[in-house]
Amino acid sequence: MASTTELQRKAIEYKEGDSLFIGYLVYPERIETNSPGVLLIPEWWGVNDFAKSMADRIAGEGFLVFVMDMYGQGKYAKTMEEAEKLSAPIKKDPLLMRKRALAGLKAFEKQSLVDSARIGVVGFSLGGRVAIELAKVAGGINGVVTVYGSLSPSLFTGLQGVKIPLLILHGYSDPLVDDDELPGILNMLDSSGIKWKMVIYGGAVHGFSNPAYGNDPASGTAYNKAVSEDAFREMIGFFKSVLK
């Protein structure tokens, strides 16, 4: 794995309508042109330190990584109240969610080093929901990973005909997912015709990849180092397979 000192980082400005967005691009210093890329859609906090550090880590595996800006002007939340306020418009409006995701994808595709025919998407928490919505409307994606992302029957409605491989990394004890709905979701996935895989981690709650959440599973949101490491390996293996 490349160290962080071997990475190039850039702020990338782009627009959706009249609104300015600022994403975060990171890639290995010696990367070749036409290299595979990963679009990272962050948690509801926005483009914060965790999103950037995860992007750096993925880039260390040989990918160009672009963290899209969901809120505009590079805004990100520092408190739950701020996160709720910033995320409310896109959570209430799937069309707006898709527009912003498409804008981020298009901005990434325009980067000179990326092979626009080899782009995968990973979304964390709310970003996982955004990634699924993006898969429904974007034709140039090679694979989608959701990490403790939203799981609901309504989210997976409309996946029929979507030929994008999907990897779902889920904590079994995630309180944000209704266990009673999970069998129906699996049936929906299986009948959709897409290629999918779900890895369920026993004992893991929401947010298992983010050290900022602390180590108390009783809170419903907590970091789990072992699960985080395994999920990262699953994600990288998936991207190396679908973006080769």
CA angle 137, 139, 145 (to 5 degrees): 80
- State the average pLDDT over residues 28-37: 94
| Backbone conformation region of residue 71, classed left if phi is above 0, alpha if psi is from -120 to 50, else beta | alpha
Convert the pLDDT of each residue in 197-240 to its tens digit.
Answer: 999 999 999 999 999 999 999 999 999 999 999 999 999 999 99
pLDDT of residue 5: 52
Convert the pLDDT of each residue in 3-17 to its tens digit.
Answer: 445 999 999 999 999
Residue 216's alpha-carbon distances to 181, 211, 220, in angstroms, are 25, 11, 8
SS3 94: helix
Convert the pLDDT of each residue in 69-118 to its tens digit.
Answer: 999 999 999 999 999 999 999 999 999 999 999 999 999 999 999 999 99
pTM of the model: 0.95
Convert the pLDDT of each residue in 55-69 to its tens digit.
Answer: 999 999 999 999 999
C-alpha span between 108 and 119 (Å, rounded): 9
Domains identified in the chain, total number: 1
Residue 141: give the domain boundaries.
Answer: 4-242
- What is the pLDDT of the chain when averaged over all its residues? 95
We report the CATH number of the domain holding residue 107 as: 3.40.50.1820
